[in-house]
Amino acid sequence: MPLTHLGNLPIKDFLRDYWQQKPLLIRNAFPDFESPLDGDELAGLALEEAVESRLVLEKGSSPWELRTGPFDEETFAQLPESHWTLLVQAVDQWVPEVQELLQCFRFLPDWRLDDIMVSYAADQGSVGPHFDYYDVFLLQGSGKRRWRLGQECDSQSPRIEGTPLNILQDFDATEDWVLEPGDMLYIPPGWAHWGTAEGDDCITYSIGFRAPSQAEVVTDVAQEIASQLTNDQRYRDPDPAPASNPGAIPPAAIERLREMVLEHLTEENLAQWFGHYMTEPKYPDLEPETPEETIDWREPGGTLYRHPASRFAYYHREGKPSLLFVDGEHFECAPALAERLCERLEVESGALLAVADEEGLALIDELVAEGKLWVVGLDDVGR
């Protein structure tokens, strides 16, 4: 279930007063929190080819050395006693108990989520003072981490040269906290922060929310719209009068261009693009495997589970079927079906049968066949 409060603060007050505005420390946000993973399990994930992982060694072959995975056991055996961190991305896609954590954060739209990154640090391990373009909840899983909060930064803030990590040259600490298991820190984009492990076995869960840059939006929208245009659709002169000076670009030409560009920025085009873009899988090469055989999802009592790497979203249109977005593609369907498919990460077949027409049934069949939805029958859960 999504959290209703962060500590004593109601979620609606958090969203109004802190979200994207200022940091917030929430002591005991998850009372009695037990880390679903330990260091060995995280290191095990970092051995896998399909898993994105990094090691940061503050005193490596160069200051703040960054190594990228997959790693081998030898690498872990040779790490120093202290001052290193292992970071593993998208652990929610690999570990069901970590995916469960996401349920708590579904007071925010699924399409804003990037992933849950999990870090394991030896004593004094750190990735240095930096800022992210992410909204992030830093949940302490085990051990202790000291978090220092710094100034607001931007792309002009000076970085330390010669390291691939964006480490800030200056860090003006304004707050200094030690977080214990279950404590959580919310940091909006652009705020400098610096976490260092206090003792070994420091595990931190970073629940990260992404927002595309304006440059990405403009480039990608343009690309998607352009892909639907033909070479015959071209600029046309606004007025056929003789040019007073052949070098002059008249304002009317610019106005014509503006109209030409704006003509394509319809609600329909933008909604389609946004749905495609924000549901694009994090690792497109790791598309869900097509299930070899699956039980019929229409069987009474069956449940459909969303593939942990799949992203679903929808957009309701006036007087037209809704757009259901799944992993960068869209499908038209009834509004109620789109809502049912997106509301929870699992949905009972009866709830779908109640709202799906013929085309809706075919759409669910397709999503099941592509492995975006997994079917579990009554027998499988052993009731």
Residues binding ligand SIN (CB under 6 A): 85, 119, 127, 132, 136, 193, 195, 204, 206
Total binding residues toward Co ion, as defined by CB under 5 A: 1
Task: Select 85 or 142, whichever has its Cβ closest to ligand SIN.
Answer: 85
Task: Select 52 or 370, whichever has its Cβ closest to ligand SIN.
Answer: 52
Residues in the chain: 383
Which residue's structure tokens are 């249109």?
317
Nearest to 54 by CA among 76, 70, 75: 70
CB of residue 278 to ligand SIN, shortest distance in Å = 21
- Within 13 Å, how many C-alpha atoms sit on residue 231's CB side? 0
Return the biggest CA–CA distance within the chain.
Answer: 84
Per CB under 5 A, 183 contacts Co ion: no
Q: How many helices (H) and strands (E) does the chain have?
A: 10, 17
119 binding partner (options ligand SIN, Co ion, none; Cβ < 5 to 8 Å by kind): ligand SIN
Please identify the residue of the shown chain whose CB is closest to the bound ligand SIN.
Answer: 119
How far apart are the C-alpha atoms of 38 and 120, rounded to whole Å?
8
26 binding partner (options Co ion, ligand SIN, none; Cβ < 5 to 8 Å by kind): none
Per CB under 5 A, 115 contacts Co ion: no
Query: Segment contacting Co ion (CB under 5 A): 128-136, 242-250, 253-261, 371-379?
Result: 128-136
How far apart are the C-alpha atoms of 94 and 283, rounded to whole Å?
12
Per CB under 5 A, 132 contacts Co ion: yes
196 binding partner (options ligand SIN, Co ion, none; Cβ < 5 to 8 Å by kind): none
CB of residue 99 to ligand SIN, shortest distance in Å = 19
Q: Which amino acid type is present at position 37?
A: L
How far apart are the C-alpha atoms of 259 and 277, rounded to whole Å?
25
Which residue's structure tokens are 């200022």?
22
Task: Select 185 or 363, whichever has its Cβ closest to ligand SIN.
Answer: 185
Task: Select 92 or 132, whichever has its Cβ closest to Co ion.
Answer: 132
CB of residue 179 to ligand SIN, shortest distance in Å = 11
195 binding partner (options ligand SIN, Co ion, none; Cβ < 5 to 8 Å by kind): ligand SIN
CB of residue 213 to Co ion, shortest distance in Å = 17
Phi-psi region of 3 (alpha: psi -120 to 50; beta: other; left: phi over 0): beta
Helix (H/G/I), strand (E/B), else coil: 202: strand
Q: In this structure, is the dihedral angle defined by the CA atoms of residues 52, 121, 119 and 175, taken in order, positive or negative?
A: negative
| Binding residues vs Co ion (CB under 5 A) | 132
